[in-house]
Chain A
Amino acid sequence: MRRNQVAVVGAAETTKLGVIPDMSQIQLHADAALNAIADAGLKLSDIDGIATAVETPQQIAHYLGIKPTWADGTSVGGCSFMLHVRHAAAAIEAGLCKTVLITHAESGKSMIGKQPRYTPPSSLNGQFEAPFGVYGPPSMFPIPVLRYMKTHGITHEQIAMVAVVQREWAAKNPRATMKDPITVADVLNSRMIAYPFRLLQCCLVTDGGGALILTSADRAKDFPQKPVYILGTGESVETPMVSQMETFNSSRAFRTAGPLAFKEAGITHKDVDHLMIYDAFAHLPLFGLGDLGFMPHEETGKFIADGNTRPGGKLPLNTNGGGLSYMHSGMYGMYALQESVRQMRGIAPAQVPGAKISVCHGVGGMFAASGTIIFTNER
């Protein structure tokens, strides 16, 4: 895909984030979508492309009253929205549609109008993982951690620092769910969830949603918001079974998606002003820093523990507080994208001064899928 041909011209989250017991999941989609449409100064009838995950495009199009000529229901977990951005950019460039709405919402906490997740007992996951006591992401996502730590010489304290640093960012964000400062000792003394991970190393469970509107870069200058251009994109999938990852020392999906996006963007790691790495659990930023090529995996723990990703550090990471402290409704990729867009617009609560390039990297499932979007505010 060519650089900077497509731009984000509308971006918004749900009016409220956190606990929203008075809205069903599909209404959260609509709330975010209507906010994004207003942000872009558009009418519903201007939208001719729709992408969403978990809910189907037809559910969201019908509920909102949109008549699309292009739809994408890619649903690969929490990074689905990175893939939607990539697919939408290609579709707009190919002339299949002009203005795409991407929505996410999840009533993750209140569970209003949310279908329960189900693993069929005849699926490979149902036959070869479920019988051994996996039960939700906290029991599965951290399974690679001990191997990663042993191979790369990462310590428990270094991984705890991921949560500490992200709380520092969250403290600057009025919409963050958790803002009180925490220490490494707080993390390592919090309630055990699935050794080696404790409560403060696991994401929040909240309600909320977000929506993006994309159009061609040539049209973007006529919109009310500062355009945020798509500079590079990448995606991949590996396996739905965490036990069947090629290795626990790295993520193949990350290693594929990240470098694709960097190559397409034509940038080096030194060019990156702002970075988002989907942090459903505290080890993901370490995997991301290594697999996206910022540094060898052996250095990721020390890099974060030394403060390089905290406010004022040389590589601002997860500046909204992340899934650990900002919010996590179940598929956090949309919120990482929202923060990258805010940073590129220059309106983030914890704005990185002068940031011009933002890398936004997402994970789906338990390292099952990955999507990377690189944004810029310069064309």
Chain B
Amino acid sequence: MAEAARARPVPTPETQHFWEGTRAGELRLQRCDACEHVYFPPRPFCPSCASRKVSVFPATGKATLYSYVINHRPPAPGFTPPYAIAVVELEEGPRMMTNIIDCPQTPEALDLDMRLEVAFQKLDEEITLPLFRPAKG
């Protein structure tokens, strides 16, 4: 019930490939064909060199924990506190905001630089969110 109220992203033409990707179980990033810069969030040009020749590719889904807070109050709709709001650094370079699942939401368990892997959580028929969990092995 609570999950229904979670803020739901509305894709735009420029971000459609990202949300199609998560629905298909892929974390899709973009790489500039001209300067090879890998970037996020999505846009149809390179924010490093302005080239419009960019390619979409699937990321490995491997990341490390860059920083986080454990939110106690006020909780966002659809969340039960305390819950961590994290920023992870993807193996390919870009960082993204996410939540860490399958892990106690405590400072002891959430160790900066710990290895993580993407885990997809279906919100509804259109939207699947990229979350992260501690890497196995």
Contact = CB atoms under 8 A, between A and B. Distances in A.
B35 to A, nearest CB: 17
B57 to A, nearest CB: 18
A274 to B, nearest CB: 32
A140 B97 CA distance: 10
A128 B75 contact: no
B contacts with A: majority SS: loop
A133 B71 contact: yes
B67 A147 contact: yes
B85 A134 contact: yes
A149 to B, nearest CB: 9
Which 4 A-B pairs have CB atoms at the shortest separation, nearest pair first? A135-B76, A147-B67, A127-B9, A130-B7
A243 B97 contact: yes
B69 A122 contact: no
Interface in A99-156: 119-122, 124, 126-136, 138-140, 142-147, 150
A133 B79 contact: yes
A81 interface: no
A65 interface: no
Interface stretch (A52-60, A188-196, A312-320): A188-196
A132 B98 contact: yes
A248 interface: yes
A194 B9 contact: no
21 contacts: A121-B8, A121-B9, A126-B7, A126-B10, A127-B15, A128-B96, A129-B97, A130-B76, A132-B97, A132-B98, A133-B71, A133-B79, A143-B68, A145-B67, A146-B68, A147-B112, A193-B72, A194-B71, A195-B69, A197-B69, A243-B97
B123 to A, nearest CB: 8
B9 A126 contact: yes
Contact of B71 (A119, A120, A131, A139): A139
B41 A244 contact: yes
A128 B41 contact: yes
Contacts of A196: 69, 107
A134 B97 contact: yes
A195 B108 CA distance: 12
B49 to A, nearest CB: 17
Contacts of B73: 138, 191-193
Contacts of B107: 195-196
Interface in B63-122: 66-79, 82-83, 85-87, 95-99, 107, 112
A134 to B, nearest CB: 6
Given A143-B68, A143-B85, A121 B7 contact: yes
B120 to A, nearest CB: 13
B69 to A, nearest CB: 4
A133 B75 contact: yes
B52 interface: no
A321 to B, nearest CB: 24
Contacts of A130: 7, 9, 76
A243 B67 CA distance: 9
A265 to B, nearest CB: 32
A140 B10 CA distance: 21
